[in-house]
Structure 1
Amino acid sequence: MNPLPATGTERPEGALSVGAVIRSRVRAAVRRPGRAARSARPRPLTPEEAEDRALLLRLLSLLLQYPDGELATARPVLTAAVEALAPSAAAAHLADFTDWFTEREPEALERHYVEMFDLRRRSGLYLTYYLHGDTRRRGMALLTLAQRYRAAGWDTGGGELPDHLPVVLEFAALAGPRAGEAPLRQHRRGLELIHHALTDADSPYQHVLAALLTLLPPPTEADLRAVAELAAQGPPAEDVGLDPYGAYGAGEFAPPGAFVPPGQAPPTLMPPLSTPEGPR
């Protein structure tokens, strides 16, 4: 079974509607936070906290996916799920986003998503780029992240790079706060930069990133300095590909000054209803 979002240009034959799968996965998140979510935490979460956190992460993953027609059709379900969240800063941010998300025409949503995440260097959703830039280290970071997923018992299906933020968020929801959210903590500076870029662009997606940041430890002074430096100078650059992980789209990675962002990711599909209960 594939507990992470499978990706592809076409929906698998026999797949359920997005609305039905979202409802099923919300229920699954409530019932099964996963073995990692039940073990080894800084402090035990109450059942309500575990439910809310898994649901928040899953909603963040869904809302950061490409808003194709199927996801646009599921907006009432997503909005209802956000409205049902326990009061929190993250819930308030998501409510601000869904207010905008539900009022726009699907074509306008698609255009805005492409502009924010595919055409802007500082707000792409591929996290290892912010930490390693166009260097050999990035290929190794991608491989390490994929190995983390496999070691935990999850399979992304190979349709998307493992550092794509919706995939990272889905893993966090399924694997729990300690192990599952470790990649998010590792890439906190990149997440801060994405949030700053979306805020500067006055994009409503800034609320989705703001909601995510409320779940992470506060930034340190070193984090804030590093984010300012990234914003001013960009990540490190090196004229190499992403081997051993493989090519990253028709544009590859252009030299500094001619950056070609990754091609638009196909919409992330929901996994089957029957998923493992947690990492082995």
Structure 2
Amino acid sequence: MNATDRARIFQLASVLLTYPDRELLDAGAELRAAAGRIEHDEARTLLGGFLDWLLDTAEIEAQRHYVQTFDLRRRSGLYLTYYLHGDTRKRGMALLMLKQRYRAHGLRLADGELPDLLPVVLEFAATAGPGDGEAPLRQHRQGLELLGAALGETGTPYAKVIEAVRVILPDLSDADRAAVAALAFDGPPVETVGLDAVGHGPDLAPYATCTPAEVSR
């Protein structure tokens, strides 16, 4: 599979995993055209199927579904480091390492945006290429797999977007599958350091050594 097609898939998935505001929905024709240019048959079918649902759904219903899917369920949050590190110091360090990787390639985060947000990780994969660009996806593959499984259980069309990304990544080894199964059984680690819930999705309050607020600056 060529690098250009991989980049197209990552870029379109990144856009489709953002909140479906009016600007996104008004770009339906462009989004369909982008999906049509994808050469990978399975990924093109998955993303096209998702677009059929999104563009045929009333704006308010699509927005409600997005919030219910990603913002109100910790098991299907879009913050990849949470799945592996939970609310621990290690997550703060993982966020910092991601931000430093992005900076090295000239990718700047929006104010308040965390570097492990899946649309950001996918954008980086699309722009920085198969090597360094896809490294964060490989490093946090367990989180991606757990997110895909959680979305599949609910039957949400967003599962198609995650699956389109998963089908172009390397196959999981037996050890990888065992690690994902163990993480799914045990859940993310918990560390009580006086964290408070902030905003949507997983708890993103200060860590003892490195806070998400610091990382997002």
TM-score, L = length of structure 1:
0.68
Q: Any idea what SS the aligned residue of 1:92 has? A: helix
Distance (whole Å) between structure 2 residues aligned to residue 72 and residue 220 of structure 1: 38
Conserved in 2, the CA contact under 8 Å of 1:76 and 1:102?
A: no
Partner amino acid for 1:50?
A
Q: Any idea what SS the aligned residue of 1:180 has? A: coil
What's the counterpart of residue 64 of structure 2?
A: 111
Distance (whole Å) between structure 2 residues aligned to residue 141 and residue 59 of structure 1: 25
Change in Cα spacing, 1:74 to 1:84, as seen in structure 2 (3 Å) is same
Residue deviations 1:67-102 (CA, integer Å, cap 9, x gap): 111111112211121123224221121112111111
What's the counterpart of residue 178 of structure 2?
A: 225
Q: Could you tell me how far 1:231 is from its partner in structure 2?
A: 2.4
Q: Any idea what SS the aligned residue of 1:218 has? A: coil
What's the counterpart of residue 198 of structure 2?
A: 249
Distance (whole Å) between structure 2 residues aligned to residue 230 and residue 96 of structure 1: 30
What's the counterpart of residue 23 of structure 1?
A: none
Partner amino acid for 1:180?
G
In the alignment of these two chains, the number of paired residues is 204
Q: Could you tell me how far 1:156 is from its partner in structure 2?
A: 1.4
Distance (whole Å) between structure 1 residues aligned to residue 190 and residue 16 of structure 2: 30
After TM superposition, the structure 1 stretch with the greater mean CA deviation from structure 2, 186-195 or 93-102, is 93-102
Cα RMSD of the aligned pairs, angstroms, is 2.1
Distance (whole Å) between structure 2 residues aligned to residue 236 and residue 74 of structure 1: 40
Partner amino acid for 2:198?
G
Distance (whole Å) between structure 1 residues aligned to residue 41 and residue 72 of structure 2: 32
What's the counterpart of residue 206 of structure 1?
A: 159
Q: 2:105 aligns with which of 152, 174, 177?
A: 152
Q: Any idea what SS the aligned residue of 2:112 has? A: coil
Conserved in 2, the CA contact under 8 Å of 1:136 and 1:241?
A: no
Change in Cα spacing, 1:250 to 1:209, as seen in structure 2 (3 Å) is closer
Distance (whole Å) between structure 2 residues aligned to residue 183 and residue 133 of structure 1: 17
Quick check: which one's helix share is greater?
2
Q: Could you tell me how far 1:241 is from its partner in structure 2?
A: 6.3
Residue deviations 1:247-267 (CA, integer Å, cap 9, x gap): 87258839xxxxxxxxxxxxx
Partner amino acid for 1:158?
D
TM-score, L = length of structure 2:
0.87
Q: Any idea what SS the aligned residue of 1:125 has? A: coil
Greater relative contact order (Cα < 8 A, sep 6+): 1
Distance (whole Å) between structure 1 residues aligned to residue 161 and residue 194 of structure 2: 31
Aligned-residue identity in percent: 55
Distance (whole Å) between structure 2 residues aligned to residue 181 and residue 140 of structure 1: 19
Bigger radius of gyration, 1 or 2? 1
What's the counterpart of residue 127 of structure 2?
A: 174
Unaligned runs of 5+ residues in structure 2 are 205-217
Residues 1:237 and 2:183 are matched in the alignment? no
Distance (whole Å) between structure 1 residues aligned to residue 64 and residue 110 of structure 2: 27
Change in Cα spacing, 1:222 to 1:141, as seen in structure 2 (3 Å) is same
Partner amino acid for 1:165?
L
Conserved in 2, the CA contact under 8 Å of 1:135 and 1:241?
A: no
What's the counterpart of residue 125 of structure 1?
A: 78
